[in-house]
Amino acid sequence: MTSNRRSLLKGLALGGTGAALPGALASLSAATAASAQASANGGPASLAWLALAQKMTEWDAKFSVAPYSGTTSNDRAESRLLMADALQLALDFWTRADTANPTFSRFVSPTRKLLGDNPDAVYFFAPIRPGGEYVIRGNTAGATYTSFTVERAEVDGGRVIGLAATLNDSQFDVAADGSYEIHVGGPKRERNWLALSDDSRTITTRHYFEREKSAAADQTLAIPIEIHPVTRPAAPPPPTEEDVAEHLRTVATYFDAVMQISRPSDLPRDNAAVARFLSTVPNQFTEPNVAADNRAIGYAAADNRYLQSRYVLGPDEALEMRGRWPDECRFANVVQFNRYLATTDYVNRQISLNRKQTVLEKDGSFRMILAHEDPGLPNWLDTGGRPNGTIFWRFQLAPGHIEPIRTRVVKLADLKRGK
């Protein structure tokens, strides 16, 4: 990165955008030159910080123009919240990551939303190295479903290109008290073992709960889980500036990878596995009984069957969704995302429904109403006034037939009158 480039980034960070930009650019003289020289003298760690700032500036510019910018103030607000959450995630995961002696970190929460998070699930993440050998110990803690996936990427923090291995709790031994032990890497084992490929970089855990209240929002929910190397390494020496620079470069790589995955949901996707469940017609869903290879998606549970569509509703409209939960299924729910695959507010609004929360019709089917205001009917999903967004279905370990989701856009007033 040239000195002029660094000066421009400093000026943008200090001067802002829009009406303030000309003044900021005009002031990029002696002060920015001095700060750029100071950064250059600061060594590789300082330059790595500026490279991360460059990534943030590039994404901010992308979200400032069509088609990434959206059409509403809420779109623009949530795109910057996505950037903040992605940056926080990247810093949390990779700033002090130790693949020789990893620890699990909470992936998403009510205050960190991205990558298709779920109000009914808790996720953890740990960085690993391809040649490592680890042991995971934990407890299912009453979860409806627990699983582990090993993600592949070309480099640490790189975009996930698929799954190397996966295990769910029907495939590993769980004691009567819910405890388990899983080995990762090393010699092959017949049970409770996750193989590592030459490009294995991370492990993600999934803990799904079907309860009347959101598991992800439950501050008292404790899920015991830990990961340790089979052979504990010696204590590392104090970090050097090159060590910090390397970690910050990984932070920037991961930030960029998360942003790439989180591109607006209404833009075309180039992943064939995603295309199988992604409807291109707003307010309608694809056929749920189509086989999909989730191992090719990356951050996905191999055991899930997904459906996804955009909703587009006028201020006086509602989306009625009718269907039936499958007879054989470990877990199922429907969730609202914004344009960037992040859940909307599930602490203060009902934005998702699992089977436990759903009021069924007399014949065992369900009728759900997505609307901007309460229609006075069961199974209301609150849009919070968003004119458009994403509806996402998960069906967990559902080997049989799933009834298609039938939809119609109706006037809210007609629903209230019983039409």
Q: Per-residue pLDDT tens for 281-303?
A: 999 999 998 776 777 777 788 89
The rounded distance, in Å, linking the Cα atoms of 195 and 170 is 17
- What is the C-alpha separation between 25 and 253, in angstroms, rounded? 28
Average pLDDT over residues 85-90: 98
* Number of domains making up the chain: 3
Span of 23-27, 220-224, 253-257 with lowest mean pLDDT = 23-27
My answer on whether 308 and 215 are in the same domain is no
Q: What pLDDT is attached to residue 5?
A: 46
Does the bond joining 67 to the residue before it have cis omega, within 30 degrees of 0? Answer: yes
Q: Is the pLDDT confidence value at 15 over 60? A: no
Q: Is residue 147 pLDDT above 90, yes or no? A: yes
Within 148-264, residue ranges assigned H as helices are 241-261
pLDDT in tens, 380-401: 999 999 999 999 999 999 999 9
Q: 91 in a domain, yes or no?
A: no
* Residue 51 to residue 43: CA distance in whole angstroms: 13
| Stretch 388-416: mean pLDDT | 95
CATH code: domain of residue 120: 2.60.120
Residues 316 and 381 in one domain: yes
Q: How many Å apart are CA 117 and CA 310, to the nearest integer?
A: 17
Mean pLDDT calculated for residue range 347-367? 98
Mean pLDDT for the chain? 90
- State yes or no: pLDDT of 16 exceeds 60: no
pLDDT of the residue at 34: 54
Of 41-45, 153-157, 251-255, the one with minimum mean pLDDT is 41-45
Q: Give the integer Cα–Cα distance in Å for 109 and 95.
A: 19
Residue 251 lies in a domain: no
Average pLDDT over residues 141-164: 96
**19 has pLDDT over 50:** no
Q: Which domain holds residue 318?
A: 272-416
Does residue 14 lie in a domain region? yes
Residue where a domain terminates, one of 215, 235, 255: 235
Q: CATH no. for residue 358? A: 2.60.120.1600
- 235, 264, 283: which is the final residue of a domain? 235
Tell whether the model's pLDDT for residue 32 goes beyond 50.
no
Please state whether beta strands 388-396 and 162-168 pair in parallel, antiparallel, or not at all (unpaired). Answer: unpaired
> Chain-centre distance of CA 289, in angstroms?
24
Whether residues 132 and 227 share a domain: the answer is: yes
Q: Do 299 and 344 sit in the same domain of this protein? A: yes
pLDDT at residue number 20: 44
Confidence of residue 28 (pLDDT cuts 50, 70, 90): very low
**Structure confidence at residue 29 (pLDDT):** 44
User: What pLDDT is attached to residue 12?
Assistant: 45
- What confidence tens digit (pLDDT) does each residue in 50-77 have? 999 999 999 999 999 988 988 889 999 9
Please spell the DSSP secondary structure of 64-112, one letter per residue.
TSTTTT-SSHHHHHHHHHHHHHHHHHHHHHHTT--TTS---EE--BTTB
